Amino acid sequence: MHLIREFEVRCTQSYQDKKIGGFCHVYIGQEAVAVGCTQAVRPEDPIITAYRDHGHALARGMTARACMAEMYGKVGGCAKGKGGSMHMFDRPNNLYGGHGIVGAQTPLGAGLAFATKYEDEVINGGKNTRVTLCFLGDGAVNQGAFYEAMNLAGLFDIPVIFIVENNGYSMGTAIDRGTTMSHDLCIKGRAHGLKEAVIDGMDLLAVYHDMHELAEWCRANSRPAFVDMKCYRYKGHSMSDPRKYRTREEEERYEANDAIAKFEKALLDHGVVTEESVKEMLKGVREEVRDSIQFSNESPEPPLSDLYTDVFVEPWGRYTGSSLPEFMGGADNVCGFRATDGKEGLV
């Protein structure tokens, strides 16, 4: 949690320094959700989320270097600088994105779970062993695709948990201004036969325990669930949000109930950690994030030839049919766009 927070603070600075571009949404305040949820499941359980994704990436085990360098648009980034802040992907750690279009990840999340179940049951002839965590914002609850995803998950017994990170706002819209039945969000899952839970997302232990129980139930029964995860984002929606739609008092009330501070106090009270060991840890965290910035500064810009990589898989080698696309050299250079400085040509 400390790593995520420190990372996001430095990320904000880097954005202000114009090292990071585009849209960038930080996770400060919601750390306990990503950490508690990912710890409550197994590394082989897939996860997928929206554009506010740095916390999930780090919690899932992406290095601070890969995450930061992606936002710097550098080769050392998790997607070689092609995806950016909103689109963090980490296949080895079973993180299937960062998705920029609100709600887009919800049918995909059902699809990840469909695949794990299919593999376990149809291909391997066994029992379902995995559960998928699909995170979405409270604003995403209003996308039509989400309802189709829930219906499919309910219909096909898909082991996916839709975790609504209910931070009370979608951009400047307070939840009750945009969403019906916001006092009982779980009704949306209930309508599709999903198991439901309301969880205090500002309490790491609650997130961990409740999510663990729920995930094990979904895994064992191969059924979907809906979680109303109550939380709060301390900062603006993105980097350019003056937060005029809420009061400073409200923000302070939530900040006083900070999940990191609470968990730290609990650990201290129970003698699990000492003031010194916490200090040591913080030092390590700061060093890790500082190092990620240095790494991102030093990591090279992608070569121009990278524009044309990863467009196709090309399992049979470079396509050489009669309809060879222009950009692969199949036609005259009619757009004049491939004249390069000679140093960085097409591969």
Partner 1 sequence: MTAVLSNPVFREPSSLAGPVREIEFRDAIREAMSEEMRRDKRVFLLGEEVAQYDGAYKVSKGMLAEFGPRRIIDTPISESGFAGMAIGAAAMGLRPIVEFMSWSFSLVAADPILNNAPKMLYMSGGQLGCPIVFRGNDGAGGQLGSTHSWCVEGLYSNVPGVKIVIPSCPADAKGLMKTAIRDDDPVFFLESERMLGNKGHVPEGEYLIPFGHAAVRRAGTHCTLASWGRPVNFCLEAAEILAKEGIDCEVIDLRTIRPLDLPTVVKSVKKTNCAVVVDQSWSFSSPGGELAALIHKHCFDDLDNFVHRVHSDDVPTPYSAKLEQEYLPNVRKICEAVRSATYRA
Ligand X SMILES: Cc1ncc(C[n+]2csc(CCOP(=O)(O)OP(=O)(O)O)c2C)c(N)n1
| Contact predicate 55/27, CB 8 Å | yes
Find which of ligand X, Mg ion, partner 1, none residue 52 binds, CB within 5 to 8 Å per kind. ligand X
Choose which of 49, 63, 167, 170 interacts with partner 1 (CB under 8 A): 170
Question: How far apart are the C-alpha atoms of 269 and 253, rounded to whole Å?
Answer: 23
What residues line the site for ligand X (CB under 6 A)?
52, 100-102, 137-140, 165, 167, 169-171, 237
Q: How far is CA 294 from CA 14, 65, 104, 255, 287, in A?
A: 11, 9, 33, 30, 10
Contact between 329 and partner 1 by CB under 8 A: the answer reads no
Choose which of 145, 205, 267, 273 interacts with partner 1 (CB under 8 A): 145
Stretch that binds partner 1, among 26-34, 39-47, 70-78, 198-206 (CB under 8 A): 70-78
Q: What are the b/e assignments for 323-346, b being 16+ CB within 10 Å?
A: eeeeeeeeeeeeeeeeeeeeeeee
Choose which of 172, 235, 262, 281 interacts with partner 1 (CB under 8 A): 172
Find which of Mg ion, partner 1, ligand X, none residue 302 binds, CB within 5 to 8 Å per kind. partner 1
Question: How far apart are the C-alpha atoms of 310 and 4, rounded to whole Å?
Answer: 29
Among 116, 240, 119, which Cα is nearest to 172's? 240
Contact between 193 and partner 1 by CB under 8 A: the answer reads no
Contact between 55 and Mg ion by CB under 5 A: the answer reads no
- Alpha-carbon dihedral of residues 316, 320, 324, 327, nearest 10 degrees? 70
Contact between 22 and partner 1 by CB under 8 A: the answer reads yes
Nearer to ligand X, 76 or 107 (CB): 107
Question: How far apart are the C-alpha atoms of 267 and 289, rounded to whole Å?
Answer: 24
Nearer to partner 1, 168 or 302 (CB): 302
Choose which of 137, 159, 189, 224 interacts with Mg ion (CB under 5 A): 137
Question: How far apart are the C-alpha atoms of 19 and 72, rounded to whole Å?
Answer: 6
Contact between 245 and partner 1 by CB under 8 A: the answer reads yes
134: enclosing H helix or E strand: strand 132-137
Contact between 326 and partner 1 by CB under 8 A: the answer reads yes
Nearer to ligand X, 101 or 324 (CB): 101
Could you give phi then psi for residue 17, rounded to 5 degrees? -80, 5
Residues that bind Mg ion (CB under 5 A): 137-138, 167, 170
Residues that bind partner 1 (CB under 8 A): 21-23, 70, 73-74, 79, 81-84, 86-87, 99-104, 139-140, 142-145, 170-173, 177-179, 245, 301-302, 304, 306-308, 311, 325-327, 333-337, 339
